[in-house]
Chains A and B, each alone.
Chain A
Amino acid sequence: MAERGRETLRFGPMKPVGLTNAHRPEDKPYAVVQLRRDNALGTLYNIVGFQTKMKYGAQTSVLRTIPGLENAQFARLGGIHRNTFINSPTLLDSQMRLKARPNIRFAGQITGVEGYVESAAMGLLAGRMAAAGMTGQSLPPVPASTAMGALVAHITGGADARTFQPMNVNFGLFPPVEAKGGRRGRKDRYKAYTDRAKADFLNWLGEGPHAAAAE
């Protein structure tokens, strides 16, 4: 990230706003490195936004130049990892089935969504679609105005197949909300997206086969 410009980090994960140094309240920090609790015991903290390609040796010495981390011990260093995903817009139908082999569905990050939440959500849909199909129940398509619907519509057709990249859920994937006169602030607009999504989602749940109560 630093390669994009010397100031990129200071306006991104290291921005100092909304924070007051408890030890020296009068000194406004120029930048702040934040660590987020990583387990219930509070024994591990991850460095927010510090995904890095630095080699392990270099990484330890660079991270220890951060004030407060001079003697830090690391439970895991940052690193690069593989991310496998298929070109869903060309390979999958709207039911997340492989067009060439409809007995096979794909779900999760391998379909080109990104993140724990998005992956779980695509699993939820794929599980329901598969079960409905196999038990002869009908499941209407989840509306594109919902977060799940917007994501699945994106990967199975909405996205440009030539430039397809893993996608996080965001309001840009939703069909626009109609502005009802006057200028809407961003807060109102987001609220309109989520209000519409919730109503449509509950409606969809009501139309579909009913899952037995969780055990």
Chain B
Amino acid sequence: MTKILHIVGGGMAGSEAAWQAANMGLPVVIHEMRPKVGTFAHRTGDLAEMVCSNSFRSDDDEQNAVGLLHWEMRAAGGLVITMADRHRLPAGGALAVDRDAFARAVTQALHAHSLVTVTDEEVTTLPASGDWIIATGPLTSPALAESIHAISGSDALAFFDAIAPIVHADTIDMNVAWRQSRYDKGETEAERTAYINCPMTRDQYESFIDALLAADKT
């Protein structure tokens, strides 16, 4: 009987795990609950959706540990890094990508792989038999989290983090703001102007901080 590797969650980790195992000759089934069951942060049914920032952070493989991780994944034929490189955007030294094109490319590559099957089922309990990789991420569905909690006891945790706001570019006043990367970093003009900057005077900064501190928090 041919062994099958089951992977729960087709995010960054599950997609990469599937690609690696399939390229080693193993049939793989990815169980990804989206789009049937969503999370509060994911918007699509694509595999490897980036839920917040569109950046894979520093691409400097000599001076930065994240850049080194990029390098190692390239050396190992990683799917995520290959598609990130393919859909790279100018970002002054960071590996930022077009999130939709990136996720679609990962999704298509996995669907096209002869050893990979993708199903849209939520897995709600830790399976008792078979070979599994659980890669359900920070937004693991509550049912599965419950099952993990049950077998691991108080060792499993949940906690809260925060995400950054996204602005429509055409609503930014470019008579006030300007385009420039810090220290004009970057090889091309696009890289050197990758960021939009909004300046503050001392008074503006102080009243901004006052407003921040006074605002209602969730």
Nearest CB in chain B to that of A71: its residue? B171
Which residue on B lies nearest to A214, using beta carbons? B77
Give CA–CA (A191, B61) in the complex, Å: 9
Whether the Cβ atoms of B127 and A104 lie closer than 8 Å is yes
Which of A50, A117, A131 is packed against the most chain B CB atoms within 10 Å?
A: A117
Q: In chain A, what residue has the closest Cβ to B138?
A: A83
B183 touches A18 (CB 8 A): yes
Report yes or no: A123 in contact with B172, Cβ–Cβ below 8 A. Answer: no
Q: How far is the CA of A166 from the CA of B68 in the complex (A)?
A: 19
User: Is the pair A68, B98 in contact by a Cβ cutoff of 8 Å?
Assistant: no
Contact B133 A127 (CB under 8 A): yes
Contact across chains for B73 and A121 when beta carbons are under 8 A apart: yes
Whether A198 pairs with B71 at a CB distance below 8 angstroms is yes
Candidates B19, B54, B66, B130; contact of A46 at CB < 8 Å: B54
Task: Give per-residue flags for B44-65: 1 if the beta carbon is below 8 A from chain A beta carbons, else 0.
Answer: 0000001011111100011111
Structural contact, A66 and B212, CB atoms closer than 8 A: no
- The reply to whether B89 and A169 contact each other, CB–CB distance below 8 Å, is no
A19 touches B182 (CB 8 A): yes
Given A52-B164, A108-B135, answer yes or no on A130-B196 (Cβ-Cβ < 8 Å): no
Q: CB within 8 Å of B: which of A56-92?
A: 57-59, 61-63, 65-87, 90-91
Say whether A212 faces chain B, with CB atoms less than 8 Å apart. yes
Given the complex of chains A and B, what is the CA–CA distance between A104 and B199 in angstroms? 51
Chain B residue numbers with a CB within 8 Å of A132 are: 24
In A194-215, which residues have CB < 8 Å from any B CB?
194, 197-198, 201-202, 205, 209, 211-215
Q: For residue B100, which residue of chain A has the nearest CB?
A: A39
**B176–A123 touching, CB < 8 Å:** no
Bound CA span A40–B102, Å: 10
**B187 nearest CB across to chain A (Å):** 16
In the complex, which residues 129-166 of chain A have their Cβ closer than 8 Å to any Cβ of chain B?
A: 130-132, 134-135, 137, 146-148, 150-151
Chain B residues within 8 Å of A73, by CB: 167-168, 171
Counting chain A residues whose Cβ lies within 8 A of the other chain, the interface size class is: 35 or more
Checking B14, B96, B208 against A62 with a beta-carbon cut-off of 8 angstroms, the contacting residue is B208
Measured in the bound complex, the distance between the Cα atoms of B100 and A179 in whole Å is: 45
Q: Is chain A's binding surface mostly helix, strand, loop or mixed?
A: mixed
**What are the residues of chain A within 8 A of B205 when measuring CB–CB?**
10, 14, 30-31
Answer whether A109 and B180 are a contact pair too, CB < 8 Å, given A6-B209, A29-B201, A169-B66: no
CB distance from B210 to the nearest CB of A (A): 9
A2-B213, A22-B180, A197-B68 known; A47+B201 contact, CB < 8 A: no
Q: How far, in Å, is A187 (CB) from chain B's closest CB?
A: 6
What residues of B have a CB within 8 angstroms of the CB of A103 in the complex? 127, 129-132
Instruction: Determine the residue in chain B with the shortest Cβ distance to A23.
Output: B178
Q: Are B41 and A81 in contact (CB under 8 A)?
A: yes
Shortest Cβ distance from residue A211 to the other chain B in the assembled complex, whole angstroms = 4
Q: B138 touches which one: A9, A40, A85, A150 (CB < 8 A)?
A: A85
Q: 17 pairs across A/B with beta carbons < 8 Å?
A: A16-B199, A29-B201, A37-B96, A46-B54, A46-B166, A73-B167, A75-B168, A109-B137, A115-B66, A123-B12, A151-B69, A197-B72, A198-B75, A202-B75, A205-B75, A211-B76, A212-B24
Given contacts A66-B208, A151-B69, 20 further A-B contacts (CB under 8 A): A6-B209, A16-B199, A30-B202, A36-B96, A65-B204, A67-B204, A70-B173, A78-B162, A84-B136, A86-B156, A87-B157, A103-B127, A104-B134, A108-B135, A116-B50, A121-B72, A130-B26, A171-B65, A211-B20, A214-B23
When A and B form their complex, which 6 residue pairs have the shortest distance between CB atoms, in order from nearest? A108-B13, A123-B13, A127-B17, A127-B20, A68-B177, A40-B98
